[in-house]
Homo-oligomer: A and B are copies of this chain.
């Protein structure tokens, strides 16, 4: 057997003691997967995918895995945030048990954030924990959700309410898989890239202002930079606070408003990144009204979000009392304590803080930032 040559890849390390792992970023990585030394050994692999991604990349991944595992099974889930439920999760358990998979099975999440979150949670729970690998095929999953070990499903009363902190063994970000990503989902992923600017790195923000057109045109080098820098920032934050006891919560900038939008519209109507985009404008405006940033900063963020093709205004969730509906939904956010909403705010460009805010001020922000869509 001749030694295959690995394609050029960047690697970002997530340092979490014995739970440490690499994020590998490159093109056409599926085919070379079997040559990697850090692919976990096992008695079987189960590829978890959905009806959209499976026809595109399922066969290539399964073929690669057959070089490393005695058997390769697959399960194909329905596509969409509205299916991030126990019922869908149970399809993974059904597959594992009907194939008599033991504790040495390795799960592969092939898809976007929903597939990654559900596969990770299934791996956390199956026989109290089996290894899994993330193979994110959306920009959002590559820059955010596949990294850091947050896994979950939704409950009718709240998003990501049932889950686990459970780290993958490896994350393979194949930039080639972004070629098939719908434009709307590419933009949704850019929302999470933009996020890293205000909370941590205004140099990245300025780079995004320079390179937004290249990213929207799926320039491979631009995408590689955006994915790598996003993963580096996330790695630093997660390495310092794996279980979100403090710092890690800053990664939820825009998410408190964003989750309210997603839940209020019904999961899947707005994409997660779209809710985050409008939510970041609202959080920035709240920061401004608290005297933390100036209007020019809010405008600069709003402009970049608009250039990415993302919504800059939240939807009206309730014509009679829109702000009240937002507040009601935000009070069940996981960061809330004793009914007090904890907002991620911008204390100055590149620096996030967490704090509460007076209801009256939050209401003003919501009234200012929402439009009937």
A152 lies within 8 A of chain B by Cβ: yes
Chain A, interface size: which category? 35 or more
CB-CB < 8 A to A150: which residues of B? 128
Nearest-CB distance from A27 to chain B (Å)?
33
- Once the chains are docked, how many angstroms separate the CA of A124 from the CA of B165? 10
Whether A125 touches B162, Cβ cut-off 8 Å, given contacts A97-B332, A331-B100, A332-B97, is: yes
Whether A127 touches B161, Cβ cut-off 8 Å, given contacts A43-B337, A331-B100, A338-B104, is: yes
A164 lies within 8 A of chain B by Cβ: yes
Residue of B nearest to A163 (CB): B128
Q: Is the CB of B86 within 8 A of A125?
A: no
| A residues 244-269 touching B (CB-CB < 8 Å) | 244
Partner of A125, one of B43, B128, B163, B336: B163
Q: Is the CB of B164 within 8 A of A124?
A: yes
Nearest-CB distance from A58 to chain B (Å)?
24
Nearest-CB distance from A152 to chain B (Å)?
7
A300 lies within 8 A of chain B by Cβ: no
A158 lies within 8 A of chain B by Cβ: yes
CB-CB < 8 A to A297: which residues of B? none
Nearest-CB distance from A132 to chain B (Å)?
15
Residue of B nearest to A98 (CB): B157
- Once the chains are docked, how many angstroms separate the CA of A161 from the CA of B101? 11
Residue of B nearest to A71 (CB): B338
Q: Is the CB of B337 within 8 A of A102?
A: yes
Q: Is the CB of B157 within 8 A of A103?
A: no
- Once the chains are docked, how many angstroms separate the CA of A98 from the CA of B152? 19
A87-110 vs B, CB cutoff 8 Å, 1 = contact: the mask equals 000100110011010111000000
Partner of A127, one of B90, B98, B334, B338: B334
Q: Is the CB of B161 within 8 A of A126?
A: yes
Nearest-CB distance from A372 to chain B (Å)?
28
Residue of B nearest to A128 (CB): B163
CB-CB < 8 A to A55: which residues of B? none
| A residues 317-371 touching B (CB-CB < 8 Å) | 331-332, 334, 336-339
- Once the chains are docked, how many angstroms separate the CA of A144 from the CA of B151? 30
A7 lies within 8 A of chain B by Cβ: no
CB-CB < 8 A to A336: which residues of B? 102
Q: Is the CB of B157 within 8 A of A128?
A: no
Q: Is the CB of A155 within 8 A of B93?
A: yes
- Once the chains are docked, how many angstroms separate the CA of A124 from the CA of B103? 20
CB-CB < 8 A to A93: which residues of B? 155, 161-162
- Once the chains are docked, how many angstroms separate the CA of A164 from the CA of B164? 9
Whether A165 touches B100, Cβ cut-off 8 Å, given contacts A93-B155, A155-B93, is: no
| A residues 214-261 touching B (CB-CB < 8 Å) | 243-244
Partner of A165, one of B128, B331, B334: B128
A291 lies within 8 A of chain B by Cβ: no
A78 lies within 8 A of chain B by Cβ: no
